[in-house]
Amino acid sequence: MSEDSTPDALDRLGSLGSLGSLDSLAGIELRHLRGFLAVAEELSFTHAADRLRIGQPALTRTVRALEAALGARLLDRTTRRVEPTEAGRRLHAELALLLPRLAAALRSPTGPAPLRLGFTSPLPAACTALTAAFEAATGAGVRLVRRDSPLAGLESGESDVVVLRGEVPRDAGLRTTVLLYEPRVAALPRIPSAAGRPGREAPGREGPDRVAAAGLRALAHRRVLDWAELAGLPLVVNTVTGTTRPDLWPAEQRPRLACTAGNFDEWLEAVAAGHGVGVTTEPVAGRHPHPQIRYVRLKNAPAVPVRLALPAQDAHPLAERFFALGARQAAEADGGPAPDRHTGPTGTGNATTAGTARETGEDATGDATGAADAVRGRRGA
User: Alpha-carbon distance 36 to 59, whole Å?
Assistant: 8
User: Percent of the chain, pLDDT > 70?
Assistant: 72
Separation of alpha carbons 125 and 2, rounded Å: 52
CA-to-CA distance for 368 and 303, rounded, in angstroms?
A: 5
Q: Which of 1, 92, 10 lies closest to 43 in space, CA to CA?
A: 92
Q: What is the Cα 168 distance to its own chain's centre?
A: 10
- pLDDT of residue 115 exceeding 80, the answer is yes
Least confident stretch, 122-131, 189-198, 202-211: 202-211
* Per-residue pLDDT, 53: 81
Bigger pLDDT: 224 vs 15: 224
pLDDT computed for residue 211 by the predictor: 60
Say whether 210 sits in a helix, a strand or coil: helix
Cβ(47)–Cβ(20) below 8 Å = no
CB atoms within 10 A of CB 220: 13
Q: Inform me whether the pLDDT recorded for 332 exceeds 50.
A: yes
Beta carbons within 10 angstroms of residue 196's beta carbon: 12
- Would you call 56 helix, strand, or coil by DSSP? helix
- CA dist., res. 128 & res. 138, Å (int): 16
Q: Are 17 and 94 in contact (CB under 8 A)?
A: yes
pLDDT at residue 20, rounded to an integer:
38
Say if residue 248's pLDDT is above 80: yes
CA within 13 Å, CB half, 251: 0
CB atoms under 10 Å from CB of 147, counted, come to 20
Beta strand residue intervals within the chain, DSSP E: 75-77, 82-84, 115-119, 142-146, 161-165, 174-182, 184-189, 224-226, 234-238, 256-261, 278-281, 293-299, 304-311
Query: What pLDDT does 164 receive?
Result: 96
Would you say residue 280 has pLDDT above 60? yes
Q: Which range is least confidently modeled, 4-13, 230-239, 358-367?
A: 358-367
DSSP 3-state of 11: helix
Q: Return all residues near 240 (Cβ < 8 A) that are at least 6 apart.
A: 148, 149, 150, 261, 262, 263, 373, 378, 379
For 159-175, b/e burial (b = at least 16 CB within 10 A) is bbbbbbbbbbbeebbbb
What 3 state SS string does 315-345 have?
CCHHHHHHHHHHHHHHHHHHCCCCCCCCCCC
Instruction: Give pLDDT, residue 335.
Output: 64
Helix (H) or strand (E) holding 285: helix 282-287
* pLDDT averaged over every residue in the chain: 77
The pLDDT value recorded for residue 244 is 93
**With 50 as the cut, is the pLDDT of residue 26 above it?**
yes
Angle at which helix 45-52 crosses helix 30-42, to 10 degrees, equals 130
How do residues 259-275 score in pLDDT, each as one tens digit? 999 899 999 999 999 99
pLDDT digits (tens, 9 = 90+) for 42-58: 888 888 888 888 888 88
Please give the pLDDT value at position 184.
97
- Whether 59 has a pLDDT exceeding 70, the answer reads yes
Other beta carbons within 10 angstroms of residue 283's beta carbon come to 21
| 142-146/224-226 β-pairing | unpaired
| 32 vs 18: CA distance, rounded Å | 17
Question: What is the rounded CA–CA span in Å between residue 181 and residue 358?
Answer: 8
Which of 269, 259, 268 has its CA nearest to residue 239? 259
The CA distance from 348 to 340, in Å, is 8
- pLDDT range class, residue 199, cuts 50, 70, 90: very low
The pLDDT of 29-43, averaged and rounded, is: 89
**Mean pLDDT over residues 17-45, rounded?**
74
Confidence band of 299 (pLDDT split at 50, 70, 90) = very high
pTM, entire model = 0.59
Nearest-angstrom CA–CA distance, 154 and 310: 7
Confidence of residue 110 (pLDDT cuts 50, 70, 90): low
DSSP β-ladder status, 174-182 and 304-311: antiparallel
CA-to-CA distance for 82 and 42, rounded, in angstroms?
A: 9
Reported confidence tier of residue 201, pLDDT bands at 50, 70, 90: very low
